[in-house]
A and B are shown apart, each in its own frame.
Chain A
Amino acid sequence: MGNRLEGKVAVVTGAGRGVGRGVARLLAEEGASVVVNDIGCEVDGSGGSHEPADSVVAEIKAAGGNAVANYDNAADMDGGENIIRTAVDTFGTVDVLVNSAGITRDRMIYQMTPEDFALVVRNNTKSAFTTCKFAGIIFRQQRSGRVVNMTSDAGLGDIGRSNYAAASEGIIGLSRTVGRDLGRYGVTCNAISPMVETRQFPGTVDEYRVAEGIHPTPAERAGIGTSPPISEWEGPGYPDDPDNVAPLAVYLCTSAAPNVNGNVFGVRGGSIFLYSNPTVEKALYKWGTFTMDEMDILVPKMIGSGF
């Protein structure tokens, strides 16, 4: 048990299961008092239960930590406010915010209903907005704070979940902006893209693809070919364990890295990645406005070559 966050107060949304649960537990291990928020819904956002949040609070307390459960829906403005208020009322303030709440409703675009799209975008991005806003008010006053938002490499283009891809890349746009809005007050905001095995993954489309032998590995799905598959594993957990995300998330919540703000990280097993920000890869220049005739000639040779 460390003391990196002794006396600090943390809020974790979606902390009842999966990635959020691991982060909440490690935050508590490091001495933070934790608001364990989870509405306890199914993967598609339906239903609700106090059990997931309650059980994580019980686990933290059993390990000698300090935690309180909250069941508000962060995707509602009142819910987001209440979650932050719970931290302030119970523990006096808020220093750390980790947004891990999210749902999936996988469908191909031509089968997706407006509800499928709206619910995923709302639950995955608006939930991060409401908590960032209300925590941001306090961060600004106390001139410190840490935010980590969970995103996904589905945003790099995943078949069968264009809603989730939109929400995931949206969370990155949000994180970069929150980091810039609050940076001068000593706040950092970063995003993590976890590649792990949770309720959300594998989803229905993944199961289909695995069954059909299409893009079978998480690495291939994510389009990341930078490291060989992990063949050996030492110590606690296993390669697809969602708890593997917690050390990086908690590290970014400590005061260790004030220079890291508005960045995107990834975690897959024992690998931790830093992503580039959007980079200009190719450019066509002209002193003046391009004509269509010019583009017909130039684009296939430059921008469009290699696709």
Chain B
Amino acid sequence: MVDRFKGRVAIVTGAGRGIGRSVAMLLAEEGASVVVNDLGGGVDGEGGSDAPAAQVVAEIKAAGGNAVANFDSVAEYESAGKIVQAAIDNFGRLDVLQHVAGILRDRMIFNMTEAEWDAVLQVHLHGAFNMVRNIVPHLIKQDYGRIVLFSSGSGMGASGQANYATAKEGMVGFTRALSRELAPHSITVNAVYPGGATRMTETIPDSTQQLRQTQRSAAAGAAAAGGMSAQGAPIQGPPEARAPENNAPKAVYLGSEVAGNITGQVIGTSGWPMTLYAPRHVIRSIHKPGRWTLDELDDLMPISLNANLVNPVPEQTPR
């Protein structure tokens, strides 16, 4: 046991399985008292079971750690409040939030239903708000806090995930705004782009994997041509590099006291490396002292802003 988190209390949502589980275990190993939250639903958010969270708590306790299970949903404001209350009731305080809980309802945009859209946004994005909003008064009162929101590289664009990409990139915007609002209270807020072989990635069909690989190659072509980065690169290395446990040290580090200067950032935790993403920033610009006309844009855009941009999914002739 180490004591980086001695006397600290952490909530990990979605801690029953996968990445959340490894984050909760590492926090406990480092001395934190952990609220292991998981409603134990399927990848699509249906159903529920106490078993996953209870199992993780048992493992933490067996290793000499301190943890309590919680089965409330992050998707509703009131039930998210109960998760926060569980930390206060059991451990008397609250320092760290790791919001990992998430579900998938993949569908191409033209087939996606309202229920698929709503469910995914509710858990990821509204869930992030519900947790943060309930926690923030406690953190402000003690003038200390660490918030880590699990976003996704899918926010950079992933076929069949309009709901998921919206929710996850929305969490990045939320993170950046919060980091500035909460900085005066010594509270840091960061987002991570995680990765690893979990239940969630197993659901992706091979055909979709292939499609995304093609799109990545196209985006990499665009990167080479236009000074832009490749997107959503797959995890490099042997199979063990895909273990969800690889995310934990980086996410836990962001939740530690020593990471106080890192806030409002997007950190890649996928695989073995740890990466820092630059926010979208202006890479090309054109200027005139007046309103542009369409004639001017027709002439100028192809040789300036649009030069060498590569469509990641160019038009295909029907077979």
Residues of A within 8 A of B (CB): 2, 4, 26, 30, 77, 108-110, 112, 114, 117-118, 121, 125-126, 129-130, 132-133, 136-137, 139-140, 143, 154-174, 176-186, 188, 224, 226-227, 230-237, 241, 243-244, 247-248, 250-251, 254, 256-266, 270-292, 295-296, 299-300, 303-304, 307
Residue of A118, A224, A259, A278 with most partner-chain B CB within 10 A = A278
Let me know if A296 and B258 touch, CB within 8 A: yes
Let me know if A4 and B272 touch, CB within 8 A: no
Contacts of A4 in B (CB 8 A): 294
Let me know if A157 and B282 touch, CB within 8 A: no
Contacts of B133 in A (CB 8 A): 109-110, 112, 114, 117
Interface string of B129-154 (1 = CB under 8 A from A): 11011001100100000000000001
Pick out which of these stretches binds chain A: B10-18, B83-91, B303-311.
Answer: B303-311
Interface positions, chain B 248-283, Cβ under 8 Å from A, are 249-250, 252-253, 258-259, 261-268, 272-283
Given contacts A121-B125, A143-B318, contact A259 B182 (CB under 8 A): no
Contacts of A26 in B (CB 8 A): 294
Contacts of A136 in B (CB 8 A): 109-110
Let me know if B229 and A276 touch, CB within 8 A: yes
Given contacts A159-B177, A259-B309, A274-B285, contact A118 B126 (CB under 8 A): yes
Residues of B within 8 A of A (CB): 2, 4, 26, 30, 77, 108-110, 112, 114, 117, 121, 125-126, 129-130, 132-133, 136-137, 140, 154-163, 165-174, 176-182, 215, 219, 227-229, 231, 237, 243, 245-246, 249-250, 252-253, 258-259, 261-268, 272-298, 301-302, 305-306, 309-316, 318
Given contacts A166-B173, A170-B125, A171-B166, contact A261 B228 (CB under 8 A): no
Contacts of B297 in A (CB 8 A): 247-248, 251, 256
Given contacts A114-B129, A173-B157, A251-B298, contact A292 B289 (CB under 8 A): no
Let me know if A232 and B166 touch, CB within 8 A: no
Let me know if A260 and B311 touch, CB within 8 A: yes
Given contacts A174-B165, A286-B272, A304-B259, contact A165 B173 (CB under 8 A): yes
Contacts of B284 in A (CB 8 A): 273-274
- Report A134 CB to chain B, min CB distance, Å: 8
- C-alpha spacing A145/B84, complex, angstroms: 46
Contacts of B315 in A (CB 8 A): 143, 183-186, 258
Contacts of A287 in B (CB 8 A): 237, 272
- Report B110 CB to chain A, min CB distance, Å: 4
Contacts of A227 in B (CB 8 A): 285, 287
Contacts of B181 in A (CB 8 A): 108-109, 159-160, 162
Let me know if A270 and B156 touch, CB within 8 A: no
Let me know if B261 and A257 touch, CB within 8 A: no
Q: Quick one: closest B residue to A26, CB to CB?
A: B294
- Report B312 CB to chain A, min CB distance, Å: 6
The list of the 9 closest CB pairs from A to B, nearest first, reads A183-B313, A169-B173, A173-B169, A170-B170, A176-B157, A157-B176, A165-B177, A162-B177, A155-B173
- C-alpha spacing A233/B243, complex, angstroms: 57
Q: Quick one: closest B residue to A115, CB to CB?
A: B77
Let me know if B287 and A271 touch, CB within 8 A: yes
- Prevailing SS type, chain A contact patch: mixed
- C-alpha spacing A300/B253, complex, angstroms: 11
Let me know if A178 and B292 touch, CB within 8 A: no
* Neighbour of B159 across the interface among A181, A258, A307, CB < 8 A: A181
- Report B169 CB to chain A, min CB distance, Å: 3
- C-alpha spacing A264/B229, complex, angstroms: 14
Let me know if A270 and B291 touch, CB within 8 A: yes
- C-alpha spacing A137/B161, complex, angstroms: 16
Given contacts A114-B129, A173-B155, A259-B310, contact A278 B170 (CB under 8 A): no
- C-alpha spacing A227/B268, complex, angstroms: 31
- C-alpha spacing A264/B157, complex, angstroms: 12
Let me know if B273 and A286 touch, CB within 8 A: yes
- C-alpha spacing A118/B170, complex, angstroms: 12
Residue of A108, A227, A299 with most partner-chain B CB within 10 A = A299
Q: Quick one: closest B residue to A178, CB to CB?
A: B109
Let me know if B117 and A158 touch, CB within 8 A: no
Let me know if B313 and A179 touch, CB within 8 A: yes
- C-alpha spacing A114/B127, complex, angstroms: 11
- A-B contacts besides A112-B129, A277-B156, 14 pairs, CB < 8 Å: A2-B295, A109-B132, A110-B140, A117-B133, A129-B166, A169-B155, A169-B176, A173-B168, A177-B158, A179-B312, A182-B109, A287-B237, A287-B272, A290-B250
Given contacts A143-B318, A157-B180, contact A232 B289 (CB under 8 A): yes
